[in-house]
Amino acid sequence: MADERSDQEVARRFGHTKDYPYGWYADYDLQILSEATKAGVHGTCEGALVEVGVYRGYSANVICRQAAGRPVYLIDSLELAGASPKDWPVGENVKHVVSRLTKWDDGPICVAHHDADHSFEVTHEHFEILGPHILLGGILAIHDFHELPYPGVKQAWDAFSLKGDFEPWGHGYSIQVFQRARK
């Protein structure tokens, strides 16, 4: 699989060789993220790809490989020690935003990946900001969804999902993916 080899090359570039060679992502989580991104991009959905919480760019590299020239927004406040845009993917279609996510004015979203602040308040705010812009058939991937140390992530999803607009698409060890089924 070409993507798997590319992920291994990214891991070597960053010098990671342990069980989690891509920061806090297991191989299977990145595979799920890649497949979900591909489904959102190559489905009937148009729009941008957005990652909130880029850190060192491991998952952003996976997302950018599936972008097919669509705009990609990589958003991170750089508040977490070790976060650095120097390692983020670059390209004509990739925009680095070093800031907290407080609004979204850049049009429809095809794929959104959330791996930022894990508190209920901030995570819920991010879902409220991005959610309305995710198009029918679009993807919302949430990292640390199943992690006990971060109950705020799942609690924020439970509160946001009461609207019933998203359905489960798939999951990995620490990532949960939803697809917009209703607007």
Q: Is the pLDDT of residue 23 over 70?
A: no
Contacts of 163 (CB under 8 A, 6+ apart): none
* Distance from the Cα of residue 113 to its chain's centroid: 2
pLDDT at 91: 94
Contact criterion met (CB below 8 Å) for 123 and 151: no
Domain residue spans of the chain: 25-180
* Distance from the Cα of residue 124 to its chain's centroid: 15
pLDDT for 135-177, tens place per residue? Answer: 999 999 999 998 778 899 999 999 999 989 999 999 988 899 9
What is the Cα–Cα distance from 9 to 138, expressed in whole angstroms? 28
Q: Regarding predicted confidence, which is higher, 23 or 115?
A: 115
User: With bands split at pLDDT 50, 70 and 90, how would you rate the model's confidence at 82?
Assistant: confident
Residue 182 CA: distances (Å) to CA of 17, 56, 114, 137, 165: 41, 33, 20, 8, 5
User: With bands split at pLDDT 50, 70 and 90, how would you rate the model's confidence at 19?
Assistant: very low
pLDDT at 3: 38
pLDDT at 14: 41
Contact criterion met (CB below 8 Å) for 115 and 53: yes
Question: Mean pLDDT over residues 27-48, rounded?
Answer: 90
Alpha-carbon Rg for the chain, nearest whole angstrom, is 15
Topology of domain 25-180, CATH: Rossmann fold (3.40.50)
pLDDT for 86-144, tens place per residue? Answer: 989 999 999 999 999 999 999 999 999 999 999 999 999 999 999 999 999 999 999 99
pLDDT at 16: 40
pLDDT at 2: 33
